[in-house]
Amino acid sequence: MSATLTPPAGRRVAFAPNWPMRIALLLLAAYTIWACTRLGLTWDRVLHGLGEGGKLLARMVPPNFERWSLLLEGLLESLQIAVLASAIGILLSLPLGLLAARNLSPWFIAGPVRAVIAVCRSLHYVIVAILFVKAIGFGALAGTAALVVASIGFIAKLFAEAIEEISMKQVEAIRATGASAMKVIAYAVLPQVASRFIGFCLYQLDSNLRNSTLVGIVGAGGIGGTLFAAFKRFDYDFVAAILLAIIALIFLAEIISGRVRAALR
Amino acid sequence: MNAMPAAQPDPMAPLRREWTRLTPAQRISRWLVWLVCAAAVLWAVRSIDIIPEFLEDAPEQMADLLVRMWPPDIAHYYPAVHEALIETLHIATLGTVFCFTLAVPLALLAARNICTIRPLNTLAQLGLVASRSVNSLVWALLFVAIFGPGAAAGVFAIAFRSVGFVGKLLSEALEETSHGPREALRASGASWGAEMLKGVWPQVQPAFWGIALFRWDINVRESAVLGLVGAGGIGLVLDDAINFFQWERVATVLLAILAVVLLAELVVTRIRARLI
């Protein structure tokens, strides 16, 4: 790429071959074939799967909305989980984000808090949900707790990064008036990051809603449990109905959050 | 020294009128937003199905679980966990590679400057959105029903889930390309393929690798849980350990996942820094 920008030493070749790239692509192709054999993915299997997929689709059509009350109940529970988890997650992320910002808190506090946030972020929410289900029992509480952890991982990290980018002049100015630490935060730090914080929160509310439709698969409440049960009973037409309902809900949430974001700008 | 007397004839009085940040309408709308938020939380708290006894002994139970996990059963790591971990990485990488076979055509169709047929744009965008709205675990459930349990289902679940994400970002990158190089190539009589390869590809290449790496990082995380529904990888080992209440093994698996995820993130940031 950059070779074409430097003045040519000898004869200039239009579209010079990029050998490192070609070799890398070749290696990627070789890896793909090797990994396919390792995982037992063969062409026969794919073709067989295509046939099975056709059968599955045929059984999903038409979607069966007969048990709509069950569907609605699950969706509402998912919504409740999402709302609660977002609220608690946001409340917890505020102090954690402030503590994790390296320009406001000393390193011996920022370091451990950052580690906690990194662990929250690295563990997939379904794994966290399983642990909570085992620890505190089936139901919406476990799902809420799992999504709170996920929310902290996301909001607190981005919030801390946003705080690290603020201008310290205003902090100094407020501090010079003799303000206490809380007042410095309230009048010098938060006004600078508030709009971005709200953006993160909206995004997380959105993804909490997506994820809350899923944690039920491991027994943590919401529509996911209904979905998994329907799968296990081979009620594929009901599965299709649930999937359509989930997609509709997520679409709706995306439209609403898009509107809110546009209004905030 | 006394404090300043408060009631003095003040020549600056007109300058001291009260300034407010928000108009009354803005203030009311802000209060309304807060009210809606509070009402939503209140509704959720009051109607959610939480068993109070569970909530009460939750900290105790969590502590108990953590105690049971300690110390992690490191001996269990090799070979069972190690092989599952390698399989998980294969699933994530293969899924990412395969997703491009679907994502690139869809992205080309969805980019308005490449495909000028409007209905096709909309159709491609619809496909991308559908892929994104179905979660990877749900895709995994579907593909387990199709391919049977195993890594094949995991690879396809990851691939289909990634199509929406990669396709959307790629089509946005395509729409931002400059038209000049393409026109120059076309004027020299280049075919459509050559136009794409030499006019468009060099422009989207950095974005392309960035997207691929980013998605691979996400896929490593996601493929770790696919085993819970039988789609292969380390999730299977985790599920077994949990079902047998072997908490020391669960701790080992969790630590392994954590290490791989952090390592993947590190690798991705390194390569990104060098590539872009």
Tens of pLDDT, residues B229-246 = 888 888 888 888 888 888
Q: pLDDT tens for residues B17-36? A: 777 777 888 889 889 989 99
CB A87 within 8 A of CB A144: no
Phi-psi sector, B124: left (phi>0), alpha (psi -120 to 50), beta: alpha
Kindly report the average pLDDT of chain B as a whole number.
Answer: 86
| C-alpha distance from B59 to closest chain A C-alpha (Å) | 8
Q: From chain A, pick out residues whose CB is under 8 angstroms from the CB of B44.
A: 79-81, 83-84, 87
Residue B155's pLDDT is what? 92
B91 touches chain A (CB under 8 A): yes
pLDDT tens per residue across span A192-220: 898 888 888 988 998 898 889 888 888 88
**Does position B158 have pLDDT exceeding 50, yes or no?**
yes
Residue B180 pLDDT greater than 50, yes or no: yes
- Please tell me the predicted confidence (pLDDT) of residue B126: 85
Given a contact cutoff of 8 angstroms between Cβ atoms, the answer to whether B79 and B207 are in contact is no
- pLDDT of res. A2: 47
If you average pLDDT over every residue of chain A, what do you get? 86
Write out the two tokens for A201.
């929160």
Retrieve residue A140's tokens: 């919406």
Asked if A1's CB is within 8 angstroms of B205's CB, the reply is: yes
Return the structure tokens found at B49: 């199905």
The CATH number that domain B72-275 falls under is 1.10.3720.10
Share of chain A above pLDDT 90, in %: 25
| pLDDT interval class at A85 (50, 70, 90) | very high
Dist CA A192 CA A182 (whole Å): 15
Tell me the average pLDDT across B84-90: 90
B239-248 residues labelled b (16+ CB within 10 A) or e (exposed): bbbbeeebbb
Q: What is the pLDDT of residues A15-43, one digit of tens each?
A: 778 888 889 889 999 998 888 888 878 88
What pLDDT does residue A52 have? Answer: 83
A217-225 mean pLDDT: 86
The yes-or-no verdict on residue A154 having pLDDT over 60 is yes
Cβ pair A215, A126 in contact under 8 A = yes
CA dihedral A176, A182, A183, A189 (to 10 degrees): 80
Higher pLDDT, B76 or B189: B189
Residue among B93, B134, B152 whose CB faces A41 most closely: B152
Domain ranges of chain B: 72-275
What percentage of chain B has pLDDT greater than the value 70? Answer: 96
What is the least distance, in Å, from the CA of A95 to any CA of chain B?
20
What's the confidence (pLDDT) of residue A1? 47
A36 CB within 8 Å of a chain B CB = yes
Confidence of residue B166 (pLDDT cuts 50, 70, 90): very high
Residue B129 backbone phi and psi in degrees, to 5: -65, -40
User: Cα separations (Å) of B72 from B82, B228, B254, B255?
Assistant: 15, 21, 10, 9
Phi and psi at A62, nearest 5°, equal -85, 150
Collapsed DSSP state (helix, strand, coil) of residue A40: coil
pLDDT in the model for residue A56: 84
Q: Mean pLDDT over residues B264-270, rounded?
A: 88
Helix or strand (DSSP H, E) at A213: none
| Cis previous bond, B11, omega within 30 | no
- Band of the pLDDT at B62, cuts 50, 70, 90? confident
Domain spanning A69-264, CATH class = mainly alpha
Mutate to test the interface with A, among B132, B143, B146, B253 (most CBs of A within 10 A): B146
Question: What pLDDT is attached to residue B137?
Answer: 87
Name the DSSP class of A67: T
Judge whether residue A106 has pLDDT over 80: yes
How close, in Å, is residue A247 to chain B by CA atoms? 6
For A262, the token pair is: 């546009």
Contacts of A228 in chain B (CB under 8 A): 141
For A72: left if phi > 0, alpha if psi spans -120 to 50, otherwise beta; the answer is alpha
Contacts of B147 in chain A (CB under 8 A): 45, 49, 52
| Cβ neighbours for A246, distance < 8 A, ≥ 6 positions apart | A75, A213, A223, A227, B133, B134
Q: Which residue type, as a one-letter code, is found at position B127?
A: G
Question: For residue A228, what are the contacts with CB-CB under 8 A and spacing of at least 6?
Answer: A216, A217, B141
pLDDT at residue B6 tops 60: no
The angle formed by the CA atoms of residues B106, B111 and B115, to the nearest 5 degrees, is: 85
Phi, psi (5° rounding) for residue A124? -60, 145
**The pLDDT value given to residue A9:** 57
Three-state DSSP class for residue B229: helix
Q: Check CB contact under 8 Å for A251 and B133.
A: yes
Burial grade of A41 (CB within 10 A; 0-12, 13-18, 19 or more): buried
Percentage of chain B with pLDDT > 90? 25
Cβ neighbors of B101 (< 8 A, separation 6 or more) are none
**Residue B170 binned pLDDT confidence (cut-offs 50, 70, 90):** very high
pLDDT class for B1, splitting at 50, 70, 90? very low
Q: Is the confidence at residue B102, as pLDDT, over 80?
A: yes
pLDDT at B8: 65
- Read off the pLDDT of each residue in B177-186 and give the average, rounded to a whole number: 91
Does the ipTM exceed 0.85? no
Name residues 40-69 of chain A within 8 A of B (Cβ): 40-41, 45-46, 49, 52-53, 56
- The predicted pLDDT at position A8 comes to 52
Q: Does B135 contact A31 at a Cβ distance shorter than 8 Å?
A: no
| Residue A141 to residue A133: CA distance in whole angstroms | 9
CA A147-A149-A153 angle, 5° bins? 115
> Measured between CB atoms, does A17 come within 8 Å of chain B?
no
User: Cis peptide leading into A191, omega within 30 of 0?
Assistant: no
More confident residue, B224 or B22: B224
